[in-house]
A and B are shown apart, each in its own frame.
Chain A
Amino acid sequence: MAGSDHSHHNPDLAHHFENMDQQRQSSKLGMWLFLVTEILFFGGLFCAYVVYRVNHPEVFVFGHHFLDKTLGAVNTVVLICSSLTMAWAVRAAQLKQRTILMLMLVLSFVLAGTFLGVKYVEYSHKWHHGLLWASRYAPDAHILAEAGFEVPEAHVEEAVSERAEGAPAGETIPAIEALPVDETTPETPLDEVADPEISKIGPAAAGPAGLATAGDRASAEAERHAVSVDPANARTFFSVYFLMTGLHGIHVILGMIAMLWLMKLTFQGAFDGGHYTKVDNIALYWHVVDLIWIYLFLLMYLID
């Protein structure tokens, strides 16, 4: 190690760095570059979100009724508190306050665990009511009624027979996909529709050009103007929701593992010398996890 041939140096200083400050700055630079890749990693999903929301706003207006604003707000507060404790941990590491550093790391870990606990409650609620991604999307009548959507009795019975095969295993409550086409709805050309919360892109004709039949085209047109309980492609909201919050949740788990590692190092006295770069970098990572959640909370839970 560096200490053996340069005994006058700080034992934490690697031999290829001039001094501790340069070492810390290069390490931090690397961390910031990594955080940029993280932002752009989530950026791809945010991009998908924005494009889909611009084209199909009604899907998001529908979907947000099934997210619990209160639980989302609680989780935002929990993450902000964990950001505070991580920032405080950096301060403690800088000041060589081992006990406070340990306390702050434990608090951050507990808060991160609380976040995941709340997320578990939200996920299991959606799981039980069939509010899942893509092909697993099959909301039951209860949850639609609970969210304030009127579900006609006759349609529920119809849905039972229709969807008996498609419902997820163990599903006992009748699943329902959409109301029948309301024939009294006036046929308004799409560009004259005043409601801004309606799809800008109608459902595709039956297939690529040349394969579509006249009948399919007509039914697609009718569907576009139909007033339905859940809009076509409502499942996409839940795909986006689970992808984004799921990827964020994985980051929370990784952050918790990093915190455990820091606790071990703190216990071994690795930060007693004031070489706090590891705490600093993991705190930076944790703040980005917090930043992403601030936007996720706004864009997923607070539509309307």
Chain B
Amino acid sequence: MNQAETHQGPHVASVKLLLVVWVALIFGTWLTVSVTYFDFGAFNIIIGLGIATAKAVLVALYYMHLRWDKPFNAFIFISAFAFLSLMIGLMLMDTSQNQPDMIPGFGAVVESGAAPEMP
């Protein structure tokens, strides 16, 4: 049975394509692991996340058929990551503002053991 005969509407991924993506994913995994043996300082995590995201894009496009799917499905899936980055981003902004000595004189009050004065 060849692919052209049964190709009606939904896309059928060829075995060759599936295997090529698999090789790329395995290579990506090898690359992620080997990159950790080099010290690029703060760039290590960026490189790692970059490779992981490239792998995720390959899986989504080919294994999850998003490349041939209705664009609306891709839109929905991408929106998940948009909201995720919103959640993490806002949370990071919040936690970076949270410092123990942000209120002047607060530390001294704690040391003396007295209750802080409420304005």
- A233 CB to nearest B CB, Å: 15
Residues in B neighbouring A28, C-beta threshold 8 A: 69, 73
Q: Are B64 and A284 in contact (CB under 8 A)?
A: yes
* Contact for B110 among A36, A205, A274, CB less than 8 A: A205
Can you name the residue of chain A whose Cβ is closest to the Cβ of B69?
A28
Q: Are A302 and B32 in contact (CB under 8 A)?
A: yes
- Total contacting residues, chain B, CB less than 8 A: 60
Residues in A neighbouring B29, C-beta threshold 8 A: 73, 76-77, 80
- Total contacting residues, chain A, CB less than 8 A: 59
- Is A178 in contact with chain B by the CB < 8 A criterion? no
Q: Are B84 and A287 in contact (CB under 8 A)?
A: no
* Contact for A36 among B19, B36, B77, B106, CB less than 8 A: B77
Q: Are B73 and A29 in contact (CB under 8 A)?
A: yes
Q: Are A212 and B56 in contact (CB under 8 A)?
A: no
Q: Are B116 and A210 in contact (CB under 8 A)?
A: yes
Could you show 30 A-B contacts with beta carbons less than 8 Å apart?
A28-B69, A29-B73, A33-B76, A36-B76, A36-B77, A43-B83, A43-B84, A43-B88, A44-B87, A47-B91, A73-B33, A80-B22, A81-B22, A87-B18, A91-B12, A94-B12, A95-B1, A95-B12, A209-B116, A212-B111, A214-B113, A280-B65, A283-B63, A287-B60, A290-B59, A291-B59, A295-B56, A297-B32, A298-B49, A302-B48
Which residues does A use to contact B, with CB under 8 Å? 21, 24-25, 28-29, 32-33, 35-36, 39-40, 43-44, 46-47, 50-51, 54-55, 69, 73, 76-77, 80-81, 83-84, 86-88, 90-91, 94-97, 196, 201-202, 205, 209-210, 212-214, 217, 274, 280, 283-284, 287, 290-291, 294-295, 297-298, 302, 304
The list of the 8 closest CB pairs from A to B, nearest first, reads: A210-B115, A36-B80, A39-B80, A87-B63, A43-B84, A84-B22, A80-B25, A212-B110
With A50-B88, A295-B52 known, 12 other A-B pairs at CB within 8 A are A39-B80, A50-B91, A76-B29, A80-B29, A83-B63, A84-B18, A210-B116, A283-B63, A283-B64, A290-B59, A302-B33, A304-B44
